[in-house]
Structure 1
Amino acid sequence: MTNLKVAIAQIDTCVGDVVGNVNKVVDFTRQAAAQGADLVVFPEMTVTGYPIEDLALRGSFQRAAEEALAEVAYRLSDGDLREITVVVGTLGSLALSDHVAMPRPTNRAVVIRGGKIVAAYDKHHLPNYGVFDEYRIFAPGNTTTVIEVAGHRVGLAICEDIWQDGGPVHELEQAGIDVLVTLNGSPYEEGKRAQRVELAARRAAAVNAPLVYANQVGGQDDLVFDGGSFVVGPSGAVLARAPKFEEHLLLWTLTPGSTEDHTGEVTDLSDLDEEVYQALVTGLQGYVTKNGFRTVVLGLSGGIDSALVAAIAADALGGQNVYGVSMPSRYSSEHSKDDAADLAKRLGAHYRVQPIGPMFDAFQDQLGLEGVAEENLQARVRGMTLMALSNAEGHLVLATGNKTELAVGYSTIYGDAVGGYAPIKDVDKSRVWQLSRWRNNLAVDRGEIPPIPESSITKPPSAELRPGQVDQDSLPPYDLLDKVLDAHIEHAEGRLELIERGFDPEIVDKVVSLVDRAEWKRRQYPMGPKVTALAFGRDRRVPVTSRWREPHQ
């Protein structure tokens, strides 16, 4: 028996771009063949992109996927590519019974060799939690697939199959395989990397063979796929690991008689701040480019939130593609305007000043608003200005609100909440400061000018909608607020549990009430990249119309 050289093609696909996705499959297969690979493994649903949601139910989409797969097989029949075995994810179909005329779509792994489809495996376990709702789309598979490559027995699984006990992995324990290959479309969330490796190691030990974990990379709507593909041995040792947040071809060699020998690269792990920041950059970059935009526009207030969003945008797209707009009112401080201009200069971003005073006065002459209505009018004039510039110049508007503000409704609907994408929607205020510090320190380590002005980080946060206003006038201190919100939202703790934790009852009642009243705003907020275990959106589904209130004991 010879060595088995495996290539993991960690690629960035786009949902529905079957032509582009097919081209990537062929290109990466050619690279793998040039490096002597016997087997190349692509992520879950590579041909169609992932997740495809209800597109899977359209006959036209199903036919397009079938034709694209045939194109892949045809193009892999050429020359040296005939000798390599390719495992690629795609959309399949499965008749549930003889009495069902319409086949159900499946999440399928297809094996191509010599220009022909030689085997297929349909995902057995379907996820139905968090961001996933696959029971209503796909039919579960019911077979175990083992293929032979270079004299080695290779078992196949798809993503959720290894997260659930039983099913195909359990069956493969008795199959005598030499390696287990799993195709994945596993979204990023902070801390998930350790879970994946720990789980994969358990499955590798169960089948007594190395496990190859191929994961996709790139942004898709509100999900970020981080890559980080790896190979883990039965002992739990990581034998090879690809970098995160970039396309990569990872090579690893299985040596006969040893499950632990390897010749694969092992990329160093990044710290959590770096991971989260890269996830935000990847999510924004994917959303902008895959939706046909080239440039973004955002309001630059001189504050920390807009500064971090601008830095993320510059890293994702280049400073020359970022358009910052300062929109001062009569209450805007000079230091805020100076900080906004300084930020744009550091990032190499475009910058303009558009005072909102005349527009605000025109509204006030007609409406004569007072109090909160007058304050919110300023934010809405700014939102209208950004959307007008977007319409006129073709930029994507970025919303700059953070998760803490979104949780308690501390934003103006149709004002600072306007936009097509919200890069820090899943980042709480405390983490905003932390990531800003991290990004500036990274610049110092590189010998560069820190992108975010120090005063934007250190000054008290304020919307500057009235004289002397600061956020803490109406909110608890952010470090305390974020702790209460984490317990209440991330861990679903109610009033009683929060008070038992030691939080002040008055603060608990205020925070819980603010969260409950802001659900309607969150439903209308732009999407943004998920980076925590529980993001607002598909992770958390709470009725807008509800009279439920936490009971007082």
Structure 2
Amino acid sequence: MTESHPFFSPKTHGFVRVAAATPVSHVGDPAANAQEHLALIRQAADQGVDLMVFPELSLSAYAIDDLHMQAALLDEVERQVAVLAQATGGGTAEHELIAVVGAPLRQGDALFNCAVVMGGGQVLAVVPKTYLPNYREYYEKRWFAPATARTEDVIRLNGETVDFAPGLIFEAVNRPGFVFAVEICEDYWAPLPPSTRAALAGARILLNLSASNIVIGKADERAMLSASHSARTLSAYVFTASGWGESTTDLAWDGQATIHELGSKLAEGERFALENHLTIADIDVDRIGLDRLRNGTFADCARNEGEAATVVPFMAREDVVESELIRPLDRFPFVPDDAGRLDQDCYEAFNIQVQGLMRRMAATKGERLVIGVSGGLDSTQALLVACRAFDRLNLPRTNILGFTMPGFATSDGTKSNAWALMKALGVTGAEIDIRPAAEQMFKDIGHPYAAGEPVHDITFENVQAGLRTDYLFRLANQNRAFVLGTGDLSELALGWATYGVGDHMSHYNVNGGVAKTLIRHLIRWVADRELVGAEASPTLHAILNTEISPELVPAKDGAIQSTEGTVGPYALNDFFLFYISRFGMTPSKVAFLAHQAWGDAGAGHWPANTPDDEKVEYDLAAIKAWLRKFLIRFFQTAQFKRSALPNGPKVVTGGSLSPRGDWRAPSDGNARVWLDELEANVPD
């Protein structure tokens, strides 16, 4: 790695690189174990790791039973602690990082199972194990005292006195948010793990040094505990267990290592490996802090249940080098790249939409609805939802009144798709040509188009959009129905809707909580499973292959009006929307993440069944330009439209822009602070 602009370093954007170390174990041989540790420390440092954790009692080995009580072994452990501490930084240090090592250490006449936290060439503090298992195969109380048995809150180690207590908080003085705490094995099987209070006291990364012998099914249990604990405590959880080399006199070991953040798995190491290895991931401590900032329950719990904790300050490594992000990063955050998860998300999203519409119809005692069918993505998805809702309510699909309303730029392709879809679904279809009414309006308001001039301005577009909505509402009155909206979440974020009409207004909008990128996959999901009938599937696939366009301006030189050419690629806009609205991240960090996801064809993975025409790349210049446009539209020009939205169900996490939901903002704000931050921190 070479020095570069700070923008290209994960450390600049609030990431801490952690490693769960799985060393080869040497039974009762601290010197040999220390050499394995040193090799992994060197490897971790070379890979830019900031914080690494070893298994429980890694210096002595865990399964050595009464050998823990031998003075010669304990003396050697202390000598090797000094060797490892020196290797972690400061003076003649070999490397700069924080290492947490497992060791049996004495305080007075008691022996403790400890985590030794090292950095800057010295031992920073020692954390004793709180809960000692003494059931089934475990017999730790034969050798060790629990943390509550210590006689004071310091321990002397190689002539130095350091803090000695459970629940210590380690905080980097030079890296905001880099705050961690440590617990040992059984501690996180307890009903109230010590790390819970540590998280409430501010720790964002929780480390677990574990021995944890393996039996069938236990690996899943560990992963479940780590995932759920990181979700409940709004933290990252790093777990590493003993592996190859531990004594198998009566037990076996798999060396499981996992890293979770806010409930999601970032990395998992190889189990049953025969060699030293590291499991590495970049933890987003900034994101954890922003999530805690938004979660009032976490803050309330911290006030009610939290306890004062001793803070141990340390200096973290500060090298700013260009590096690829080591963590899963979906290019489409609303569309997971795991096929199984995508199927589950589509199932839930579609049924949320369907049930929302069913409830609205039941509440209004409605039996008919009116929908504009354009042959585009959004109206197609809304129509599919309507058909499924009517089927479940035992209402005839003929009570769905679909209207295609061609204007001055409607193409034969979209019009024919609209008709084919309505016929295949068995809804009542009709056509209203809006051009005569539009021409009359142009004449009435004195628009140049009425005089034969080819003026295709915003008035020209919105006259058409407005007329379509006017017709739909009056048709609803006439047929004792209500208007089903079609506008999606991405359009609401960008303000890509005509205020009061068009995609902006309806009696109920099932798409308002669904991002454009997800709508594409929902339509494909419905088509592939024939959920509304096999007859519609060919037309649905044809619609998916149609370029996104409002079709309000006639084609010029053979090129149709392109939505994405005006507002930007929906793939990028949805990416921006997710991280800005869900977490409140700075524009420069969003740009960094987008560059990591989209800047290199090999840097990410595509969701299942992604068409080739969606597999595109964007360089940093394009990302910055489109992000600038997004910020202006999102923060400055679109909020007044979002302040007057119709009802509709929230579908995706962090994905409601309703003024009654996740997002509330002034309609007369501006985007200056976000634009300034982008310009100041993202290179051209």
TM-score by length of 2: 0.41
Corresponding position of 1:469: 561
- Distance in 2, matches of 1:528 and 1:421, equals 6
Matched, 1:413 2:499: yes
CA change 1:539–1:271 in 2 (3 A) is same
Deviations 1:237-261 (A, max 9, x none): xxxxxxxxxxxxxxxxxxxxxxxxx
The equivalent position to 1:491 in structure 2, one of 566, 574, 583, is: 583
Report the 3-state secondary structure (helix = DSSP H, G, I; strand = E; otherwise coil) of the residue aligned with 2:537. coil
Report the 3-state secondary structure (helix = DSSP H, G, I; strand = E; otherwise coil) of the residue aligned with 2:436. helix
Report the 3-state secondary structure (helix = DSSP H, G, I; strand = E; otherwise coil) of the residue aligned with 2:371. strand
Corresponding position of 2:429: 351
The equivalent position to 2:665 in structure 1, one of 529, 532, 542, is: 542
Corresponding position of 2:522: 435
- Distance in 2, matches of 1:472 and 1:272, equals 25
CA change 1:274–1:451 in 2 (3 A) is farther
- Distance in 2, matches of 1:273 and 1:365, equals 47
Q: How much does 1:334 deviate?
A: 1.2
Task: Give the share of equivalent positions with the same residue, in percent.
Answer: 26
CA change 1:342–1:447 in 2 (3 A) is closer
Report the 3-state secondary structure (helix = DSSP H, G, I; strand = E; otherwise coil) of the residue aligned with 1:450. helix
Corresponding position of 1:325: 403
> What letter matches 1:513 in structure 2?
I
Corresponding position of 1:236: none
Corresponding position of 2:417: 339
Gaps of 5+ in 2: 1-195, 198-223, 233-339, 392-396, 448-454, 555-559, 596-619
CA change 1:498–1:320 in 2 (3 A) is same
Matched, 1:513 2:632: yes
Q: How much does 1:445 deviate?
A: 11
Corresponding position of 2:466: 380
CA change 1:531–1:446 in 2 (3 A) is same
Q: How much does 1:482 deviate?
A: 1.3
RMSD between aligned alpha carbons?
A: 2.8
Q: How much does 1:446 deviate?
A: 7.8
Q: Is 1:324–1:352's contact at 8 Å kept on the other side of the alignment?
A: yes
Q: How much does 1:444 deviate?
A: 8.0
Q: Is 1:440–1:452's contact at 8 Å kept on the other side of the alignment?
A: no
CA change 1:447–1:298 in 2 (3 A) is closer
Q: How much does 1:452 deviate?
A: 4.9
Matched, 1:533 2:653: yes
- Distance in 2, matches of 1:493 and 1:335, equals 41
Matched, 1:291 2:364: yes
Q: Which region of structure 1 is more displaced relative to structure 2, 515-524 or 482-491?
A: 482-491
Deviations 1:165-217 (A, max 9, x none): 99xxxxxxxxxxxxxxxxxxxxxxxxxxx99x958x99xxxxxxxxxxxxxxx
- Distance in 1, matches of 2:514 and 2:362, equals 22
Deviations 1:49-95 (A, max 9, x none): xxxxxxxxxxxxxxxxxxxxxxxxxxxxxxxxxxxxxxxxxxxxxxx
Gaps of 5+ in 1: 1-164, 167-193, 203-267
Q: How much does 1:486 deviate?
A: 1.3
Q: How much does 1:368 deviate?
A: 3.1
Q: Is 1:443–1:451's contact at 8 Å kept on the other side of the alignment?
A: no
The equivalent position to 2:351 in structure 1, one of 275, 278, 292, is: 278
Q: Is 1:311–1:451's contact at 8 Å kept on the other side of the alignment?
A: no
Report the 3-state secondary structure (helix = DSSP H, G, I; strand = E; otherwise coil) of the residue aligned with 2:370. strand
- Distance in 1, matches of 2:228 and 2:506, equals 39
Aligned residues, how many?
A: 296
Moved over 3 A (4+): 444-449
Mapping for residues 65-144 of structure 1, pairs under 5 Å: none
CA change 1:547–1:479 in 2 (3 A) is closer
Q: How much does 1:447 deviate?
A: 5.9
Report the 3-state secondary structure (helix = DSSP H, G, I; strand = E; otherwise coil) of the residue aligned with 1:352. strand
- Distance in 1, matches of 2:460 and 2:534, equals 45
Matched, 1:365 2:471: no
Corresponding position of 1:396: 482
Q: How much does 1:313 deviate?
A: 0.3
Report the 3-state secondary structure (helix = DSSP H, G, I; strand = E; otherwise coil) of the residue aligned with 2:347. helix
Q: Is 1:343–1:451's contact at 8 Å kept on the other side of the alignment?
A: no
> What letter matches 2:666 in structure 1?
P
Q: Is 1:296–1:398's contact at 8 Å kept on the other side of the alignment?
A: yes
CA change 1:340–1:496 in 2 (3 A) is same
